[in-house]
Structure 1
Amino acid sequence: MKSAILVLALSFLPELLNAVFKIRIDSFSILVYFTIIFMALYLGSSYRFYDKYKWWDRAIHFLSGIGFAGFGIAFAGTGSGFIKLVILLFG
């Protein structure tokens, strides 16, 4: 039950970033983001893929690196003064 609530809450994060902060995230990064959520919360936790496959955690970390790069590029496109710190953080 907790996983379902967490997936529902995290599903709205890209739209929330766009609505509140005017940060537009590209479609590929959103696809990677939802893939990570599905792999980590649904398959990893509910179906115990973390226990069944040793490489599962590494695959999710690899994908999250790609996702963070996409989110970082989206943050860099906003152009605010605070963005230099965010670019350094994602870099």
Structure 2
Amino acid sequence: MARAIPLTTGTGDVQASTGACTLVGFSARETVGSASADVTLRDGTDATGAIKAILRLAANGSQAAQIPPVDFATGVFVDRSGTGSSELVLYVQ
């Protein structure tokens, strides 16, 4: 069964988890309302890790999906960019 990792609203990068895990879903929303936000999920502990998934959130937009399993060997690092702000929940096993 998947466990939820909620990430608070923000624009800064954040370490979502450390160690091996498998991403199986997500929910995300842009919270500023007037700007887009990009979220890059990387395998590792910083913004240099291999890119595993990219989300583009339109201004005031949201996305949620159950996805095919994506393996992370070292951890899930959330690399945020754009002028918007994002709030995320990642579902991992």
TM-score (norm 1): 0.27
More helix, by proportion: 1
Bigger fraction of residues in strand:
2
**RCO (CA 8 Å, sep 6+): is it higher in 1 or 2?**
2
**Larger Cα-atom Rg:** 1
